[in-house]
Amino acid sequence: MAGCCTFRYGTVAALTRSLRVGEQCVRMFEGYRLPKYVCSIIRATPQRSISALGVLRDQEWPVPPFGTHASSPPLARRPSHPLGIIKTSIYEYLQKADPALKTFDDLYPVVTVKANFDDVLVPADHVSRNPNDTYYVSDATVLRCHTSAHQLELLKRGEPAFLITGDVYRRDSIDSTHYPVFHQMEGLRVLGPEDWGSMEPTQYAETQLKQTLEGLAQHLFGSVEMRWVDAYFPFTEPSFELEILFKGEWLEVLGCGVTQQSIVDDGGFAGRKAWAFGLGLERLAMVLFDIPDIRLFWTEDSRFLSQFKAGSMKTKFKPYSKYPPCFKDVAFWLSDSFTENNLCEVVRAVAGDLVEEVKLIDSFTHPKTGKTSHCYRIAYRSMQRSLTDEEINELQWTVRRDIENQLKVELR
């Protein structure tokens, strides 16, 4: 599920690398194959319309349907979009308790590898650095995979208390809760001796962090049962996840912890402490507003959008129609380099938002050749209309062709 699950694994190891930023990183877009729909999201934001990005328009990626309405203004900055409503509600609550918190909603999503990983102490061998998980724009730049990519940058600008909201990008599987772009909110608060007084500083930070976030969860969900679970993030120690009991199930709502001291020190706040948290806005919105499919956030259909009102957290989404899904299977012998994320990328590049799920339904290893075959079931479904057999068959043929050509697998 879109949320905070990438950084749980691995061990902490500080890293340094010198990389260049600015103009340089933008020019590196050239010749690099990012899926076009990801590019169009970036381009859609006015202050992101850096001319060099225009280069991407000419690349060969087909444009999935949502590419053309890729959110301008960005979803979380629309006051009556579910993501904007939740963002505003969280800002209001947290800023009431702590007026010093400044908000940042328009930080550019292409960041250096250094900012995304090294600056927040993500180990060199951490899975999230793999191009199979993160969109590399160049060797030195990525589409941020979390808003933590801006922690150090803002600390260095002298900001001691901030909330960041932005689109984040992860290569992933396809189902109703995963989308290659989703939205996170990051919070960070620096504390000083004037705050912790005679208390042990880390203990104080942890206590204040937990109180703040428990209050936030109550603000959002009412009086629910909650629990804290120990977690691992490279940039915090100790680290926790907050879970709430929702419809009988424990649901992870955010990740957080006491910021690693070296980050606070590097940021220019030596002698102080900090806490930080990160949460996924789609996940919260899906639960709070009963939104069943993550693709709906990207629709411009007024039957969706008109159900939400700025300032109202009480809306329960009423599905306006549920068109039937259409299932197509594809089976092939794997190649060494095959990954499911790559498969999903190929399928989404062809079918865009018409693909609802890609699911492994059979795996078989030949006893003699040792070769492995996978069979995937692709669910096609539109939120807007019935799909015709003809168009699905055509999509499926293109999907099969592209799987064969791009993934170097042998179709069965």
Binding site for ligand PHE (CB under 6 A): 4, 6-7, 146, 148, 186, 233, 235-236, 255-257, 276-278
Q: How far apart are CA 403 and CA 368, in angstroms?
A: 25
CB of 221 closer than 8 Å to CB of 215 = no
Among 278, 257, 11, CA closest to 126: 11
The answer to whether residues 10 and 126 touch, using CB atoms and an 8 Å cutoff, is yes
Considering the complex, what minimum distance in angstroms separates the CB of residue 186 from ligand PHE? 6
CB of 151 to ligand PHE, least distance (A): 8
Least distance CB 126 / ligand PHE (angstroms): 12
The Cα 77–Cα 66 span in angstroms is: 18
Q: In what order do the strands lie in the sheet with 249-259?
A: 102-104, 161-169, 181-191, 273-280, 249-259, 236-246, 226-233
Residue nearest to ligand PHE (CB): 278
User: Please, what is the minimum distance in Å from the beta carbon of residue 147 to ligand PHE?
Assistant: 7
C-beta of 67 vs 257, nearer to ligand PHE: 257
Residue closer to ligand PHE, measured from CB, 217 or 351: 217
Closest approach of ligand PHE to the CB of residue 256, in Å: 5
CB of 205 to ligand PHE, least distance (A): 12
CB closer to ligand PHE out of 4 and 216: 4
Residue 145 Cβ, how far from ligand PHE at the closest point, in Å?
A: 7
For ligand PHE, which is the closer residue by CB, 237 or 402?
Answer: 237
Q: How far is the CB of 118 from ligand PHE (least distance, A)?
A: 14
- Encode the chain in three state secondary structure: CCCCCCCCCCCCCCCCCCCCCCHHHHHCCCCCCCCHHHHHHHHCCHHHCCHHHHHHHHCCCCCCHHHHHCCCCCHHHCCCCHHHHHHHHHHHHHHHHCCCCEEECCCCCEEEHHHHCHHHCCCCCCHHHCCCCCCECCCCEEECCCHHHHHHHHHHCCCCEEEEEEEEECCCCCECCECCEEEEEEEEEEECHHHHCCCCHHHHHHHHHHHHHHHHHHHHHCCCCEEEEEEEECCEEEEEEEEEEECCEEEEEEEEEEECHHHHHHCCCCCCEEEEEEEEHHHHHHHHHCCCCHHHHHCCCHHHHCCCCCCCCCCCCCCCCCCCCEEEEEEEECCCCCCHHHHHHHHHHHHHHHEEEEEEEEEEECCCCCCEEEEEEEEECCCCCCCCHHHHHHHHHHHHHHHHHHHCCEEC
Using the minimum distance from each CB to ligand PHE, give the nearer residue, 188 or 296.
188
**Nearer to ligand PHE (CB atom), residue 36 or residue 144:** 144
Decide whether 204 or 233 has the Cβ nearer to ligand PHE. 233
Closest separation in Å from C-beta 262 to ligand PHE: 15
Closest distance between ligand PHE and the C-beta of residue 332, in Å? 32
Nearer to ligand PHE, 113 or 399 (CB): 113
Closer residue to ligand PHE, CB minimum distance, 67 or 187 = 187
Phi then psi for residue 375, to 5 deg, are -120, 125
- Select 166 or 278, whichever has its Cβ closest to ligand PHE: 278
